[in-house]
Amino acid sequence: MRPAQIEIVNVFTHNGQGGNPCPIMVDASELSSEEMRAIAAHHGHESAFVTAALSEGFDYTFRFYVPRHEMEMCGHATIGALWLLAAQGVLKGPHVRIDTRSGPVSGFVDLVSRDNPSVEITQPAGRVFDLSRDGEAEVLRTLGLARADPLDLPIQNAITSRVKTLIPMRLVERLNALDMNTALIEACCTRIGSTGLYPYAIESRDKRTFEARQFPKSSGYPEDAATGIAATALSFGLLRNALIDANDAPIRSAARPNDGRLSEIRVRLGFSGGRAIGCLLGGTVGRA
């Protein structure tokens, strides 16, 4: 596994604490796919592997693994890898193009402070779909919720890079009390065409702050500490349901999984002609 070449960073930290741990290898060109998956399984976290660009017009190719399989895209791992490349002084520039299996991603890195570079990455415009009544009932059963627990809003599948299921909870306390069964989550996500259940609650509409938790379909662990791809999907769901105004002010999502580690994710929507055309995903990073 060449452990000396692997560094773990915490992505989406809050006041220097918490965040989502991410093992990163910044020179993984010689690793096989199975070696990458084995590293992710060894560490028990989503892991990022940086290689030389495999396609023309890109600066890097990034690959992402969870313990059970490869993923097309991982937001926090992309941010963590760019942060580490910048911190090590080997990033190719403040604006880089990354080839991923879900498509091209642009990274913007503020290099004013090499010790603590600021990173944002692009994600495409989100699409949001209401679940059927049967789909909603399936989600509620899986989460152990009564129909009164969510707000009077639809349960929705939303996608930027991967489909996430958005469940608008009425109370933050009820959100934080959820305790999931991974087998039930996987079965539910398979039926509704999702890669994870993402219940969320409004902390402050005026401040555009929310709390959320991510229960992945089949990553090999029961809950993510914080997931950027789900946060970008949530941002477009919030816009669709008029829970935020249509502007580029930051949307802040706090994640507080069962282990109590608080994380913070920032998303800024982009507009053209009054239409949302994509977003920027960012957050703070620190060494584990």
Q: Cα–Cα distance between 18 and 187 in angstroms, integer?
A: 30
Give residue 288's pLDDT: 86
When the pLDDT of each residue in the chain is averaged and rounded to a whole number, the result is: 94
Residue 187 in any domain: the answer is: yes
CATH number for position 115: 3.10.310.10
Choose the weakest-confidence range: 1-5, 61-65, 187-191, 225-229.
Answer: 1-5
Task: Give the pLDDT confidence of 12-55 residue by residue, as tens digits.
Answer: 999 889 999 999 999 999 999 999 999 999 999 999 999 999 99
Average pLDDT rounded to a whole number, residues 247-274: 91
Question: DSSP H helical segments within 167-227, as ranges?
Answer: 172-176, 182-192
Across the range 242-256, mean pLDDT stands at 95
247 pLDDT above the threshold of 70: yes
Q: Are residues 16 and 116 in the same domain?
A: yes
Q: What is the pLDDT of residue 112?
A: 74
- 69-98: average pLDDT: 96
Q: How many helices (H) and strands (E) in the chain?
A: 6, 18
pLDDT score of 119: 97
pLDDT score at 111: 83
What percent of the chain is modeled with pLDDT above 90?
89
Residue 195 backbone phi and psi in degrees, to 5? -105, 5
CA 162 – CA 92 distance, rounded (Å): 28
Do residue 81 and residue 218 come from a single domain? no
Question: Pick from 123, 147, 162: which residue ends a domain?
Answer: 123
Q: Take residue 61 and report the two structure tokens written for it.
A: 């190719």
Which neighbouring-strand residues pair with 9? Answer: 22, 287
Q: Is residue 136 domain-shared with residue 260, that is, in the same domain? A: yes
Do 166 and 153 sit in the same domain of this protein?
yes
Please say if the pLDDT value at position 180 is more than 50. Answer: yes
Query: 14, 262 in Cβ contact below 8 A?
Result: yes
**Position 268 pLDDT exceeds 70:** yes
Q: Are residues 74 and 103 in the same domain?
A: yes
DSSP 3-state of 99: strand
Cβ atoms 165, 196 nearer than 8 A: yes
pLDDT band at residue 63 under the 50/70/90 scheme: very high
Higher per-residue confidence, 111 vs 78: 78
Please check the confidence at residue 1 and state whether its pLDDT lies above 70. no
Does 287 fall in a domain?
no
| 224 CB-near residues (< 8 Å, 6+ apart) | 20, 46, 196, 214, 215, 216, 230, 255, 257
Inter-residue long-range contacts of 29-35, CB under 8 Å, 24+ positions, other chains counted: 33/63, 33/70, 35/1
Which of 100, 123, 146 is the last residue in one of the domains? 123
Q: Which residue, of 123, 138, 173, is where some domain finishes?
A: 123
Does the pLDDT at position 2 exceed 70? no
Q: Tell whether 288 is covered by a domain.
A: no
Mean pLDDT of 149-165: 97
Q: Whole-angstrom Cα distance, residue 267 to residue 76?
A: 12
Q: Is the pLDDT of residue 3 over 50?
A: no
Percent of the chain with pLDDT over 70: 98
Residue type, 76: H
Domain span holding position 56: 3-123
Cα 125 to Cα 163, 233, 272, distances in angstroms: 13, 9, 11
